[in-house]
Copies of this chain bind each other. A is one copy, B any other.
Amino acid sequence: MLPRGRPRAMGAAVLLLLLLLVVGFFLFGRDPDCKRRSWAGEEGTLCDRCLLTPRVFSDGLGTTATLDEDPYRSRNLSASSPQLLLPPKCEMLHVAIVCAGYNSSREIITLTKSLLFYRKNPLHLHLITDAVARNILETLFRTWMVPAVVVSFYDAEELKPLVSWIPNKHYSGLYGLMKLVLPSILPPSLARVIVLDTDVTFSSDIVELWALFDHFSDKQVVGLVENQSDWYLGNLWKNHRPWPALGRGFNTGVILLWLDRLQQTGWEQMWKVTAKRELLTLMATSLADQDIFNAVIKEHPHLVHPLPCVWNVQLSDHTRAERCYLEAADLKVIHWNSPKKLRVKNKHAEFFRNLHLTFLGYDGKLLRRELFGCPNQFPPGAEQLQQALTQLDEEEPCFEFRQQQLTVHRVHITFLPHQPPPPQPHDVTLVAQLSMDRLQMLEALCRHWPGPMSLALYLTDEEAQQFLHFVETSPVLSMRKDVAYHVVYRDGPLYPVNQLRNVALAQALTPYVFLSDIDFLPAYSLYDYLRASIEQLELDSRRKTALVVPAFETLHYRFSFPNSKAELLTLLDAGSLHTFRYHEWPQGHSSTDYSRWREAQAPYSVQWSADYEPYVVVPRDCPRYDPRFVGFGWNKVAHIIELDAQEYEFLVLPEAFSIHLPHAPSLDISRFRSSPTYRNCLQALKEEFHQDLSRRYGSAALKYLTALQQARSRA
């Protein structure tokens, strides 16, 4: 046994040490980085908050964190672990992500939702994208309107020459390698950035990760979590020869990059030299940028700051991540770095999937949350919109309509991989919109219309996932790459039918569009016939013509579709088919003149009449639908009026037809039928629409108003 005096002496020594630390804290404790870490463009303005933040003892982490002796592991890693000094609440954090293609664009949205859910700081996303991802993500972020989020795009195409000389076997292709060149292409004003793979999910506030920059020593330039598999140990199989790495190596799914220091250390030169040398013997990278990062670190170990394992829990096929998460009180970031993604086999796969599914199905509009007390956080238009919404009177009978009209829906265009149609002068895209309860129409529609389609789907985030599953498991749908699906996310009680139509219409890529509805099946020959007709009639997009496709309906939900006009007429005569809504709403299609159509051999011109709402083929640049019509009623009628007012000629095609299939009435129709308020609100919308018409077309619009007044006096 040690003499009793020993512990006391040791205690005194410890006290002295602590005393020195305390003194050091008072002398040097003010954060020298404070100024640099404030909002870009507002240097120093928020600096006073740094002083309010309680300063605690740094735990001086500087040693290499390995899976076997992770210096973080033995500590309580919960959200309230006291090692962290957080930046001020309004400080902007920067995140860079490389994203290309349709599937990664879906992934990055789930990642972003998880990021935004926990974040309490403004975020600046730096997205390095190909043209496809940029198109999708620009629309998405513009319509998402999340406060305190800035998004910048960088063209991945321009980066390709910088990395295309590196042979790479990884499934991420050239895009994975682009992380290496970020220090050269991000704005020089950007001192630090967090780089993320698209396949990570946050389960905590990213500010805690950002705060780890403070733990970097002066020489450290890159923060990484150790690799949680044995890959770099080189013993996975016979003749497995991985790139050189320090021990298990590091994973580059989550990177803290100290950009200005990287520039100063000559990063670009450094990684290129290393890569070229290793490629002489290794021929190609297996894990893209990660191999090169590791080779550089092996050579310059002082560059890396090892991060706690919880910031990149790697669920690869042969993961050893369990050693990390079973001990930790808290997981921060999950990394689905198996090519199998969510289907990876793992004892705790269900647990991790649940975290991920949380954000997959999370209603993104709920993330439109402001950050209290932070300046300039609102995206363009958001404040005016908020104001307009606040000014609505909740007691007003048409409040729901007004609110729905003002709603900006998040829009995810080309939700699934899509092959744009080759440019052809007479090509026609079928345009329609639907919600979940019409999904079963899609297969039949694909069989009837072999051409391109642009469909807007009104879905919740969760339904969008069900839809994805539906398409993936349908042989008919998964084959078709010329159908573009655009998801408009649900918000509000009324179906925004015309906003949906406009989204689908705007995304049509052919010179002509067939404006249809989802519960109609076109004649099998219609696609070919329309293209031939456009060609024969010598239409071009300058000629204002609307080709009318006569509409019929069947009341039987099992029914054998006519293969020709002759067959259709037989069914019509037998009473198995009817002209569309003949019983309930004959004026909707009476101008089409079905009896003339029976006999017609050539296209014939018809005149507009009140309430006319035919299905038409028009040039893609036709007028948009009036978005004020939400819910049920008059949404197509208004569009046809607009076409007529702009002097489109209505030309009925003698061989064209389309048949409506029966379905239970939608909730909106049921409400329309049962609610006088609903009908009154629709009437008010019609009147406003006509006022606008008169304003725009003057006396030429008089005939529409007269028709409306006649209808009202009849009612």
Instruction: Report how far A370 CA is from B348 CA in the complex, Å.
Output: 9
Query: Would you call A44 an interface residue if the criterion is a C-beta within 8 Å of the partner chain's C-beta atoms?
Result: no
6 shortest interchain CB distances as A-B pairs: A82-B82, A663-B664, A354-B366, A89-B329, A437-B437, A79-B79
**A79-B205, A327-B373, A470-B667 known; A19 and B23 CB under 8 Å?**
no
Query: Would you call A649 an interface residue if the criterion is a C-beta within 8 Å of the partner chain's C-beta atoms?
Result: no
Residues of B within 8 A of A22 (CB): 15, 18-19, 22
Is B584's CB under 8 angstroms from A441's CB?
no
Residues of B within 8 A of A328 (CB): 372
Is B662's CB under 8 angstroms from A662's CB?
yes
Residues of B within 8 A of A373 (CB): 326-327
- Shortest CB-to-CB span from A548 to chain B, Å, is 26
Complex partner residue of A56 from B56, B357, B366, CB under 8 angstroms: B56
Is B557's CB under 8 angstroms from A664's CB?
yes
Can you report 18 residue pairs joining A to B where beta carbons are below 8 Å apart?
Answer: A15-B22, A18-B22, A22-B22, A52-B76, A54-B81, A80-B80, A80-B81, A82-B82, A82-B84, A351-B369, A357-B366, A363-B462, A438-B664, A440-B667, A469-B493, A555-B557, A558-B583, A662-B662
Residue among A440, A470, A556 facing the most chain B CB atoms (10 A cut-off): A440
- The contact size tier of chain A is 35 or more
Residue among A208, A325, A363, A674 facing the most chain B CB atoms (10 A cut-off): A363
Residues of B within 8 A of A81 (CB): 54, 80
Complex partner residue of A443 from B329, B363, B493, B674, CB under 8 angstroms: B674
Instruction: Report how far A477 CA is from B583 CA in the complex, Å.
Output: 29
- Shortest CB-to-CB span from A413 to chain B, Å, is 23
Quick one: which of A344-401 are within 8 Å of B by CB?
A: 348, 350-351, 354-355, 357-358, 361-363, 365-370, 372-373, 386
Complex partner residue of A76 from B53, B367, B555, CB under 8 angstroms: B53
Query: Would you call A666 an interface residue if the criterion is a C-beta within 8 Å of the partner chain's C-beta atoms?
Result: yes
Quick one: which of A173-227 are within 8 Å of B by CB?
A: 205, 207-208, 211
Is A56's CB under 8 angstroms from B82's CB?
yes
Is B664's CB under 8 angstroms from A440's CB?
yes
Residues of B within 8 A of A498 (CB): none
Instruction: Report how far A14 CA is from B361 CA in the complex, Å.
Output: 53
Is B79's CB under 8 angstroms from A54's CB?
no
